[in-house]
Amino acid sequence: MQKQWWKESVVYQIYPRSFKDSNKDGIGDLQGIISKLDYIKDLGANVIWICPVYSSPNDDNGYDISDYTGIMDVFGTMEDWEQLLKEIHQRDIKLIMDLVPNHTSDEHPWFIESRSSKDNSKRDWYYWRPGKDGKEPNNWESIFLGSAWQYDELTDEYYLHLFSKKQPDLNWENPEVREALYNMITWWLNKGIDGFRIDAITFIKKKEGLPDAPNLLGARYVPAWDCHRNQPGIQNFLSELKEKVFDKYDIMTVGEADGVNPEGSLLYVDETEGKFNMIFHFEHMGLDSGPNGKWDVVPWQLKDLKKVMTRWQVGLHEKGWNANYLENHDQPRSVSRFGDDKKYYQESAKMLATFLMTLQGTPYIYQGQEIGMTNVRFESIDDYRDVESLNLYHENEEKGNESIQKAWEYIYAKGRDNARTPMQWNDQFNAGFTDGTPWISVNPNYKEINVDKSLNEKDSIFHYYKKLIQLRKEHEVFVYGDYRLILEDDDQIYAYMRSLEKEAILVILNFSEKPADFVLPKDLSYTNQSLLIANKKVSSNEELNMFALHPYEARVYKLT
């Protein structure tokens, strides 16, 4: 396996709007980030991924871009950004930016031109279609609900938007669009950044003819994944992007690849043929969804988590590379979702940290994860900001009380604002995030959960993460070792071996709120055991062959 800096890295993800406000307007900004770089350095992350900071009317918090080469006013100026890059590099950290090539804002000059008339030279830069029988051109549902088409009176046609109606999809079939995007990407790379996280990349190819999706239940709009996600032909676009742009730089690229499975992933991340270094898959994020998608909330099962993660771990071994994450700005907080944010809060947050940091692949830590930030339950819909959750709420509002109750349940479980409440820096006013009024309220638990406290307590979740990051740096086996699942059928314990030549690591995780009996498989022979890290006190004379794990206990042994 080839050694690469991005395989050995630990990434810290920043959602700028919610990270740190420097000028009291209630919105996180670039100077705020600069003021906290030493904190990230102290944690030990050596790559920062920063969510979009480009000019945007903020319908989807920066994922609706109106100027790809401008900085969003409320975040600062290009000078601030340049200072940020410089200060990041001075600390020996790398910076990857978010790249959003599937759509622009409807306020982007390209779209304004495109919308202006049917014969405008940029008309074909987006998907414009006439209505069908007085209705939308097809029955596709937007990923953010409602129709994926928006009617525009001016030219009496509809435009396609897979996300919000302020995010019209670019037409990648048009070579001028691709060229314009490549120029923009090159422009950023020439500024000296170290790579990109590529947003919603599996959506850039649409099914030929934009046909209706199968509609068994006769719904007005239907999810149309099989028409717009990971479609045949997409790899041609990605190869071109790679050859014309990415290949010319020593950068790290991670594609956000909803709808890709381990088998199909090699087209994306094969060591030689792949178009990206790694991708974010969604298979583990789907484990608490039923057949009807994200808002069909069901309990997740450990056996499924093992199956999914193992297929990726084994499937990519020596062929490609994994990007591992348990939460991000689109997902609930992992301790609330896969752990227990009440009774076994500390234990389960650390257990999940152990899991994330000991898998094969590059780990991504989302801001606040390192101090165990949790989901939030605001009581009024006025406290929510996310366009997706608001759409869900309003769609259900029309259907009456019972539906509203359901909507609340879904928003509490899966709403994206769970991860977007301000970073909790201390127990002071607004958790130290802002001296003004925050754009979204602070999670009321900031007095118990905050950075100051986590830094001061030596057994904190923060220090545990820090130690795990250190271990990854000290033992190559964590990065390059293979992965082998053991105790496959155990329904409480998730355990695996990581091995590299003579180095072997045993990871034991109790994913349940009950004690669990661990029995070492007979075929695992070793002469010496040493405990590298654990989230509970382990007595030094404990036998490794058989012992009882506490709820959510995690242990990592080195075996020789």
Q: Which two tokens stand for residue 342?
A: 């009440």
Using Cβ positions, the residue closest to Ca ion within the complex turns out to be 29
Q: What angle do CA 519, 524, 526 make, to 5 degrees?
A: 110
Q: Does 364 bind ligand TEU (CB under 6 A)?
A: no
- Starting at the edge strand found earlier in the chain, the sheet holding 195-198 runs 278-280, 252-256, 195-198, 94-99, 47-50, 11-14, 362-366, 323-324
Q: Binds 27, which of Ca ion, ligand TEU, none (CB < 5 to 8 A, cut-off by type)?
A: Ca ion
Main-chain dihedrals φ then ψ at residue 254, nearest 5 degrees: -135, 115
* 59 lines the binding site for ligand TEU (CB under 6 A): no
Q: Is 489 an active-site residue?
A: no
The binder of 388, among Ca ion, ligand TEU, none, by C-beta within 5 to 8 A per type, is ligand TEU
Indicate if 256 belongs to the active site. Answer: yes
Distance CA 435, CA 276 (A): 41
Query: Which spans in 163-259 are helix H?
Result: 175-189, 225-228, 234-244
Find which of ligand TEU, Ca ion, none residue 163 binds, CB within 5 to 8 Å per kind: ligand TEU
Q: Applying CB under 5 A, which of residues 29, 59, 199, 388 lies at the interface with Ca ion?
A: 29
* C-beta of 58 vs 512, nearer to ligand TEU: 58
332 φ, ψ (degrees, to nearest 5): -60, 165
Q: Quote the least distance from Cβ 27 to Ca ion, whole Å.
A: 4
Question: Is residue 25 part of the contact set for Ca ion (CB under 5 A)?
Answer: yes
Judged by DSSP in three states, 526 sits in coil
Least separation in angstroms between CB 442 and Ca ion:
15
* Contact status: 435 vs Ca ion (CB under 5 A): no
The secondary structure of residue 134, as a DSSP letter, is: T
Of 9, 10, 11, 21, the residue at the interface with Ca ion (CB under 5 A) is 21
Binding footprint of ligand TEU, residue count (CB under 6 A): 13
- Residue 200 contact among Ca ion, ligand TEU, none, beta carbon within 5 to 8 Å by kind: ligand TEU
Q: Please, which residue, 23 or 391, has the CB nearer to Ca ion?
A: 23
In what order do the strands lie in the sheet containing 482-486? 482-486, 493-500, 503-510, 554-559, 529-534
Set 256, 283, 288, 388: catalytic member: 256
Nearer to ligand TEU, 346 or 367 (CB): 367
DSSP letter at 296 equals E
Query: Which residue stretch of 15-23, 194-202, 424-432, 521-529 sits at the interface with Ca ion (rule: CB under 5 A)?
Result: 15-23
Half-sphere exposure of 506 (CA within 13 A, CB side): 21
Residues in 196-255 at the binding interface with ligand TEU, rule: CB under 6 A: 199-200
C-beta closer to Ca ion: residue 37 or 524: 37
Which structure tokens are listed for 516?
């669990």
| Alpha helix segments (H runs only) across 37-174 | 37-43, 78-90, 109-116
Least CB distance from residue 189 to ligand TEU, whole Å? 21
Coil/strand/helix, residue 365? strand
| Binding site residues, Ca ion, CB under 5 A | 21, 23, 25, 27, 29
Binding site for ligand TEU (CB under 6 A): 60, 63, 100, 143, 163, 199-200, 256, 258, 294, 329-330, 388
Active site residues: 199, 256
